[in-house]
Structure 1
């Protein structure tokens, strides 16, 4: 039990370090003036995403969040991990490689996961407009002109209200950030800082989801247009982006499944045996007849040039070549009279 507790502490410490590194890189990316498609920027985005993905795995393994508890029961240092899917969603949208639809779908999953968890803890009341909530038993009714006008007014009023709230939250966050730079920051200030950051990202997540809702029909239209065009030969597309979200499933599923990148499924020996069956690698149990190919010689650690040289020497001996035999005898006599290492005086005069 003692070892288990120590391992858990190490994981939490590693999680804290990972999150800090990821957050520093995230702020650097967001404050960068370089174009998003700059190779260095893209490399930094992917690196930061991997850091946050690893932090997400550790959050799942350490079982930090539970639907049965309120926000006041979450430890202050653990509040920052609410932001993991929000950060990953924002970084996903900045990727320029791969299919845009896959990127948008992945970002949508991250933002909805973030808002869903915030809803569970009473930090937000976002209304998900998912298709599954609309049943076939209740067909859509055409809204009257008055209802459409009322909805437009409410939408505009909500946007103005949220804009004001965002502005206030940003100002408050800047003030709290100055206090966070103190070495001995008060626990209440620290907690208020994380909660303010979460509330600010709730607004940003809603804005991004609204943008995604507008972009999706455009992407679908482009995809349909491409289907009508004649297929052009091209390189195989990169694998689609897969979201990594916080899960409470068993450890094995948390590591190997739930959309996580696949890990190696074969040992080195299994890989070699598979290649032998396919005829790519030579079978070590069968004796090779005939000359070796370049690939077989390389796998066996044999140099074809060495074999040719050895064969030439054997031919000279068999033919009693006087010059070659005399040279080999002189070499043997020299070795007898000059033992190895006699000439090495260790740089001494």
Structure 2
């Protein structure tokens, strides 16, 4: 049974007049057999299905074990598919879009899908590494689309600029010369986002109307080709948005991370020490918080009275009781009571002013 290498597989694909890589078979003495392992189309379909499940899943958190397991499986499938595409040399920057078979156009999405699934990883300790890897996948996809003339867009830099370098040589941020360009750039960026959003919605509507025919096998080759090109254009807008978000997040992560070589050395912790004077003072005045009472308020007042601090300012309970007893005895005196009654009777029979002649006393 002969062994077929990547070059031979590429030649077979060329010789079949644009036969898709998914349908590539190897002739043998016993007929024809498919290449060993999963087919390229199966790997792409599996990776895309897992990405859609992660994107539209009902899991409460993207860090759930079930979600991360799908992310890992999807990345493995897409990485194997990307390796097969590289071995078959399906795409080249020296080719035109018309030279690509309609069934092979969908494999252009492999870098974009790899970038989208890479962003779904939630390992915070490797977040910066995942962002750099995802950005590289998106940029590779955009560069490939640019070489085939798919869409008109500005290709971002190959790598995000470290913080501080993008502003090097520019005027002072607070100066009027720098304020005007920044406003123009912000307005231009906002307008570009609006245009991308409108284009994305239009592409989604067109794809939704064509998906049933293409997936049901009722579309001809021209419709299939248009469907895949629309998908590529949609992912171009998605990749541009993701690269912009990745650059912003990388700036934040790099500003938080300590520079290399400037990490603080772990110093030996200081031993606690106690001042003898403070220890003695704490025994007298306590530890700085209220303690339990040692006497009642009445005991304290009696102690102060015996010391003469509050003498003459008030009377004791015994003296008060004595005064009340004397008052009660006075009220019980019969002579005094009779005198008071007589005086009341006299006031009843003699009106006020009685005996006063013309107000003369």
TM-score, normalization by structure 2: 0.57
Tell me if 1:128 matches 2:156: yes
| Aligned twin of 1:153 | 187
Does 2:249 correspond to 1:224? no
2:139, 2:158 within 8 Å by CA — same for their partners in 1?
no
Q: How does 1:64-75 map to 2 (within 5 A)?
A: 64-75=90-101
Which deviations, in whole Å up to 9, do the C-alpha atoms of 1:244-283 show, x marking residues without a partner?
xxxxxxxxxxxxxxxxxxxxxxxxxxxxxxxxxxxxxxxx
Structural mapping, 1:304-319, within 5 Å: none
Aligned mates of 2:154, 2:109 — CA distance in 1 = 16
The aligned counterpart of 1:10 is 34
1:106 aligns with 2:133: yes
State the shift of 1:191 in Å.
0.9
User: Secondary structure of 2:217's match?
Assistant: coil
Alpha-carbon RMSD across the aligned residues, in angstroms, is 2.9
Partners of 2:115 and 2:221 in 1: CA distance: 29
Stretches of 4+ aligned residues off by more than 6 angstroms? none
Q: 1:132 to 1:200 in 2, by over 3 A?
A: closer
The answer on whether the counterparts of 1:19 and 1:51 sit within 8 Å (CA) in structure 2 is yes
Distance 1:132 1:105, change over 3 A: closer
In the superposition, the TM-score normalised over structure 1's length comes to 0.59
Q: Report what 1:42 is aligned to.
A: 68
Alpha-carbon distance in structure 1 between the residues aligned to 2:209 and 2:133: 33
Any conservation in 1 of the 2:128–2:253 contact (CA below 8 Å)? yes
Q: Distance in 2 between matches of 1:131 and 1:189?
A: 36
Q: What are the superposed Cα offsets for residues 119-168 of structure 1, whole Å, 9 maximum, x if unpaired? A: 111113333235799xx9xx744354333322222221111111111111
Pick from 207, 226, 232 the counterpart of residue 241 of structure 2. Answer: 207
Cα deviation, residue 205, structure 1: 0.5
Shift of the alpha carbon at 1:11? 4.2
Which gives a bigger RCO, structure 1 or 2 (Cα 8 Å, sep 6+)?
A: 1
| Alpha-carbon distance between aligned partners in 1 of 2:159 and 2:54, rounded to the nearest angstrom | 34
Match of 2:50 in 1: 25
Instruction: Say if 1:119 and 1:126, in contact at 8 Å, map to a contact too.
Output: no
Deviations 1:55-74 (A, max 9, x none): 00110111100111111111
Structure 2 stretches lacking a partner, 5+ long: 5-11, 13-24, 28-32, 172-176, 267-361
Q: Across the two proteins, how many residue pairs are aligned to each other?
A: 228
The separation in 2 between residues aligned to 1:159 and 1:201, in whole angstroms, is 14
Retained in 1: the 8 A contact 2:62–2:68? Answer: yes
Over alpha carbons, which structure has the higher Rg?
Answer: 2
CA contact (8 A) 1:83 1:198 kept: yes
Give the aligned partner of residue 348 of structure 2: none
The correspondence for 1:84, drawn from 110, 120, 129, is: 110
Shift of 1:181: 2.7
* Cα separation, 1, equivalents of 2:94 and 2:248: 35
SS of match in other structure, 2:63: coil
Task: Say if 1:115 and 1:126, in contact at 8 Å, map to a contact too.
Answer: no
Instruction: Spell out the pairing of 1:331-346 with structure 2 (5 A cutoff).
Output: none
